[in-house]
Amino acid sequence: MLLRAVRLRNFLAHEYFRQRAAAFLTEDGKNQMIEELKKATGFFEDVDARLEPLTMQIIEIIGVDKHIREALEDARLAGFGDPLPGL
């Protein structure tokens, strides 16, 4: 499942719009793209839900859990990040 997630992520990051360029020109194509991206989102959410408990176990075992609260606060202070270009 994790390998599938990595492959999907790489495809979305590097190939998706190149391979869907023609589809993007039609209303049907755009709708299909929206639907498959919704599926991808659901898949990533499922992978995340399955990995989170394992990740938390590993974090506790190696003792990093003591630093989680501080790291979360640092992330909160750093903010969401740059806006999507063009939006």
Q: What is the dihedral of CA 37, 15, 87, 33, to 10 degrees?
A: -30
Instruction: Please report, for the chain, how many H helices and E strands are present, in that order.
Output: 4, 0
3-state helix, strand, coil in the chain (%, to 5): 80, 0, 20
Query: At a CB cut-off of 8 Å and minimum separation 6, what does 46 contact?
Result: none
Give the mean pLDDT of 58-67. Answer: 86
Tokens of 73: 């606060």
Q: What is the pLDDT of residues 6-41, one digit of tens each?
A: 999 999 999 999 999 999 999 999 999 999 999 999
CA-to-CA dists, residue 19 to 30, 46, 82, angstroms: 13, 25, 26
Q: What is the pTM of this model?
A: 0.74
